[in-house]
Chain A
């Protein structure tokens, strides 16, 4: 297994290549341009297609077309561009087409700013598009996870015939770290019998999201929901760090969790019993796992780089009896480990 020293964005793009991505369409936006730059160079070498689209609206719809032909497809963008893709994500869900969407978050609302942000948690996890659907969302916290999770995102997308999303912090994307290339010799993706092949095979294939007859739409929506229930059983991933004896557990995703881990180490050095819980799959959310921790630990500190979004999910899961405090940083300045350590200390 090759050991590499890569930026998070490169690790992600390399992971996509190792996952046999064969189609990318996207539109330039800071801070994710290194992903399309990498793929425009590397995709043609492995027989893949790269298209610079005229907009994010076009990009996501190009994915819809290529995905219907059975290719592994992806796009990447940053917050404003992801807003433009929401209609397409809804159509991908409705049409049951796999696709991977990467959001390297920046500030909103509006043009906002290009600094580090976690302002898109709600948009990503609650479905920014119209209709009744769920998009699995993963939040990497290292270059290695950029590599691992994009591959998982492709696998989950194919398994459930759904779009999936990587919700990425810009710092994770820019940081250079060791990456083990675990899946270099990955076998080819399975043939998708529902997709358009090289010619029409037998019955006509129709890929659509319009259901007008009788109860068809109701059945279709329940079917999408059933897939989500299975994901809740099978696709939850999380990390729990020193939570067993913890008196307080810090909860954060992505970059915040990475910084949080250092804060926990500081705390432990000073005999403060603190732990870290980090959801890696934001959809499906690790509800049971978090609940299990709350059987022993009664204090939680949720940290996010926004004014409080994931904290609502934590409150929903843990209920009113648990002491949940929130520390938000809706600015480009990430909290330092020391800062989080002091926040932990304040709570106990």
Chain B
């Protein structure tokens, strides 16, 4: 029999705890495939933010460190400086990375810390029950924006990939989604690219993944995917915002 599909080796044999239709699981799988691809399981250290992804160490068989909420990139800075020979990635939500941890994010990016960042943008604070995030879309109803997000009161959704791309320290910045097979292929490429950048020592690599949170959006899984396509992507356009090449740093 020909093997046409198998579970990534770095993932353990346990079920994810995520809600039905949640895309965190898919993001985990893509990262796991990239780790397998580069055969860096034993070199990798995961720095895990506080959010629905906090149990990443239960699924990934890699050395793992839990960061305080928002501080992932300060923690990753310490890890990478201490162990430059290891491959370090952070896994962070939009509350974690773009709100409480924004200063750590921007400065780690600006220093060009040679780490990879996987940023799950689901437009809400998932773990705490669906409050407004810095990425919540205008008009979006959340538990703390019951009348919809209004720019005069709440400001605008923040576009991290574009913002970080302006910083010299950033080697790679891209936004991807997981709604169609084509998007999935692009997402896999971007995640691999992020690790490759780090392996080549090019600096900070950042992948923003638009992700469905059916539970806190009060939607069926398929409806939630449709929302990513119809509401999120128009505001958060997919694509590569920055890509440094080896020749750029020589």
> Which one of B21-29, B56-64, B221-229 is at the A interface?
B56-64
Q: Which residue of the partner chain, among B42, B61, B77, contacts A65 with CB atoms under 8 Å?
A: B77
Assess the A65–B47 pair: CB atoms within 8 A.
yes
Q: Encode B57-90 as 1/0 by CB contact (under 8 A) with A.
A: 1000111111110010011111111110110000
Assess the A207–B65 pair: CB atoms within 8 A.
yes
Flag whether B242 is at the interface (Cβ < 8 A): no
Flag whether A64 is at the interface (Cβ < 8 A): yes
The CA of A204 and the CA of B11, in the complex, are separated in Å by: 12
Flag whether A138 is at the interface (Cβ < 8 A): no
User: Hey, which chain A residues are within 8 Å of B64, CB to CB?
Assistant: 204-208
Assess the B82–A23 pair: CB atoms within 8 A.
yes
Assess the B74–A57 pair: CB atoms within 8 A.
yes
Flag whether A293 is at the interface (Cβ < 8 A): no
Flag whether B54 is at the interface (Cβ < 8 A): yes
Assess the A51–B77 pair: CB atoms within 8 A.
yes
Q: Encode A205-232 as 1/0 by CB contact (under 8 A) with B.
A: 1111110000000000000000000000
Flag whether B243 is at the interface (Cβ < 8 A): no
Give the nearest-CB partner of B45 in chain A. A196
Q: Which residue of the partner chain, among B41, B78, B85, B103, contacts A66 with CB atoms under 8 Å?
A: B78
Assess the A65–B62 pair: CB atoms within 8 A.
no
Assess the A91–B82 pair: CB atoms within 8 A.
no
Q: Which residue of the partner chain, among B66, B80, B107, contacts A210 with CB atoms under 8 Å?
A: B66
Q: Tell me the minimal C-beta distance from B99 to chain A in angstroms.
A: 14
Flag whether B162 is at the interface (Cβ < 8 A): no
The CA of A73 and the CA of B74, in the complex, are separated in Å by: 14
Flag whether B9 is at the interface (Cβ < 8 A): no
Q: Tell me the minimal C-beta distance from B144 to chain A in angstroms.
A: 22
Q: Which residue of the partner chain, among B54, B62, B82, contacts A71 with CB atoms under 8 Å?
A: B82
Flag whether B43 is at the interface (Cβ < 8 A): yes
User: Hey, which chain B residues are within 8 Å of A61, CB to CB?
Assistant: 67-68, 71, 74-75, 78, 104
Chain B's interface size range is 20 to 34
Assess the A210–B54 pair: CB atoms within 8 A.
yes
Give the nearest-CB partner of A59 in chain B. B74
Q: Tell me the minimal C-beta distance from B164 to chain A in angstroms.
A: 15
Q: Which residue of the partner chain, among A23, A55, A70, contacts B81 with CB atoms under 8 Å?
A: A23
Q: Chain B contact residues: over half helix, strand or loop, or mixed?
A: mixed
Q: Which residue of the partner chain, among B41, B44, B83, contacts A69 with CB atoms under 8 Å?
A: B83
Flag whether A258 is at the interface (Cβ < 8 A): no
Q: Tell me the minimal C-beta distance from B35 to chain A in angstroms.
A: 12
The CA of A154 and the CA of B45, in the complex, are separated in Å by: 25
Q: Which residue of the partner chain, among A51, A67, A204, contacts B63 with CB atoms under 8 Å?
A: A204
Assess the A196–B74 pair: CB atoms within 8 A.
no
The CA of A207 and the CA of B46, in the complex, are separated in Å by: 10
Q: Tell me the minimal C-beta distance from B12 to chain A in angstroms.
A: 9
The CA of A25 and the CA of B107, in the complex, are separated in Å by: 14
- Knowing A54-B107, A199-B42, the reply to whether A205 touches B78 (Cβ < 8 A) is no
Flag whether A198 is at the interface (Cβ < 8 A): yes
Q: Tell me the minimal C-beta distance from B103 to chain A in angstroms.
A: 6
Q: Which residue of the partner chain, among A23, A54, A67, A208, contacts B104 with CB atoms under 8 Å?
A: A54
Flag whether A266 is at the interface (Cβ < 8 A): no
Q: Which residues of A from 51 to 87 have beta carbons under 8 Å from B?
A: 51, 53-55, 57-59, 61-71, 73, 87
Give the nearest-CB partner of A208 in chain B. B66
Assess the B83–A206 pair: CB atoms within 8 A.
no
User: Hey, which chain A residues are within 8 Å of B83, CB to CB?
Assistant: 69, 196, 198
Q: Encode B84-109 as 1/0 by CB contact (under 8 A) with A.
A: 01100000000000000001100100
User: Hey, which chain B residues are within 8 Å of A25, CB to CB?
Assistant: 77-78
Q: Tell me the minimal C-beta distance from B9 to chain A in angstroms.
A: 13
Assess the B74–A204 pair: CB atoms within 8 A.
no
Residues of chain A having any CB pair with chain B under 8 Å: 22-23, 25, 49, 51, 53-55, 57-59, 61-71, 73, 87-88, 91, 95, 196, 198-200, 204-210
Report 25 cross-chain contacts, Cβ distance below 8 Å, ordered by A residue.
Answer: A23-B81, A53-B74, A54-B104, A57-B71, A57-B74, A58-B71, A58-B103, A58-B107, A62-B77, A64-B78, A65-B47, A65-B67, A65-B75, A65-B82, A66-B78, A67-B78, A68-B82, A69-B82, A71-B82, A196-B45, A196-B65, A196-B83, A199-B42, A200-B63, A207-B65
Q: A51-B81, A61-B71 are in contact. List 19 more A-B contacts (CB 8 A).
A: A23-B82, A25-B77, A25-B78, A58-B104, A59-B74, A64-B65, A64-B71, A68-B79, A68-B82, A70-B82, A88-B68, A91-B68, A95-B66, A196-B63, A196-B86, A204-B57, A204-B61, A204-B64, A208-B65
